[in-house]
Structure 1
Amino acid sequence: MPELTPEERQRYARHLSIPNVGEAGQLKLKASSVLMIGTGGLGSPAALYLAAAGVGRVGLIDPDTVDRSNLQRQILHGESWVGKPKLESAADRLREINPHVELDLHPVRFTPDNALDLVSRYDLVLDGCDNFPTRFLSNDACFLLKKPCVYGSIFRFEGQVTVFAPHLGGPCYRCMLPTMPPPGSAPSCEEAGVLGVLPGVIGSLQAMEVIKLLLGIGEPPLGKLTCYDALNTSFRSLRLRRDPACRLCGDAPFISSVKNDETTASDSCSIPGMPTITVEELMARLAAGETPYILDVRQPEEEAEGTIPGAVLIPLATLPERLGELPADREILVHCRSGARSARAVTFLHEAGFPQAVNVEGGINAWKSF
Structure 2
Amino acid sequence: MNDQQLLRYSRQILLPQIDLAGQRKLLNARVLVIGVGGLGSPVALYLAGAGVGQLTLVDPDQVELSNLQRQILHDSEAIGLPKVESARRRLQGLNPEVEVRVVADRLEGEDLEAAVAQADVVVDGSDNFATRFAVNIACVQRGRPLVSGAAIRMEGQVAVFDSRRPDGACYHCLFREGEESEETCSQTGVIAPLLGMIGSVQAMETLKLLLGIGQSLQDRLLLLDALEMRWREIRIRRDPQCPICNDF
- In the superposition, the TM-score normalised over structure 2's length comes to 0.97
Report SS of the residue matched to 2:160.
strand
Report deviation, 1:234: 1.1
Counterpart for residue 208 of structure 2: 212
Q: Given that residues 33 and 124 in structure 1 are in contact (C-alpha distance below 8 angstroms), is that contact kept between their aligned partners in structure 2?
A: yes
Q: Which aligned pairs between 1:123-272 and structure 2 lie closer than 5 A?
A: 123-168=120-165, 169-181=167-179, 185-250=181-246, 253=247
Residue-by-residue CA offset, 1:255-307 (whole Å, 9 max, x unaligned): x8xxxxxxxxxxxxxxxxxxxxxxxxxxxxxxxxxxxxxxxxxxxxxxxxxxx
Q: Which aligned pairs between 1:1-370 and structure 2 lie closer than 5 A?
A: 4-168=1-165, 169-181=167-179, 185-250=181-246, 253=247
The size of the alignment, in residue pairs, is: 247
Query: 2-side partners of 1:243 and 1:202: how far apart?
Result: 25
Q: Given that residues 139 and 163 in structure 2 are in contact (C-alpha distance below 8 angstroms), is that contact kept between their aligned partners in structure 1?
A: no
Report deviation, 1:221: 1.1
Report deviation, 1:55: 0.2
Q: Which amino acid aligns with 1:144?
A: Q
Query: 1-side partners of 2:211 and 2:41: how far apart?
Result: 22
Q: Which amino acid aligns with 1:101?
A: V
Structure 1 runs, 4 residues or longer, greater than 3 Å off: none
Q: Given that residues 132 and 180 in structure 1 are in contact (C-alpha distance below 8 angstroms), is that contact kept between their aligned partners in structure 2?
A: no
- Runs of 5+ consecutive residues of structure 1 not aligned to the other structure: 257-370
Report deviation, 1:222: 1.2
Q: Which amino acid aligns with 1:171?
A: A
Q: Given that residues 33 and 56 in structure 2 are in contact (C-alpha distance below 8 angstroms), is that contact kept between their aligned partners in structure 1?
A: yes
Larger Rg: 1 or 2? 1
Larger RCO (alpha carbons 8 Å, 6+ apart):
2
- In the superposition, the TM-score normalised over structure 1's length comes to 0.65
Q: Given that residues 227 and 236 in structure 1 are in contact (C-alpha distance below 8 angstroms), is that contact kept between their aligned partners in structure 2?
A: yes
Query: 2-side partners of 1:76 and 1:179: how far apart?
Result: 31
Query: 2-side partners of 1:46 and 1:147: how far apart?
Result: 18
Report deviation, 1:113: 4.1
Report SS of the residue matched to 1:108.
coil
Report SS of the residue matched to 1:209.
helix
Q: Given that residues 159 and 220 in structure 2 are in contact (C-alpha distance below 8 angstroms), is that contact kept between their aligned partners in structure 1?
A: yes
- Runs of 5+ consecutive residues of structure 2 not aligned to the other structure: none
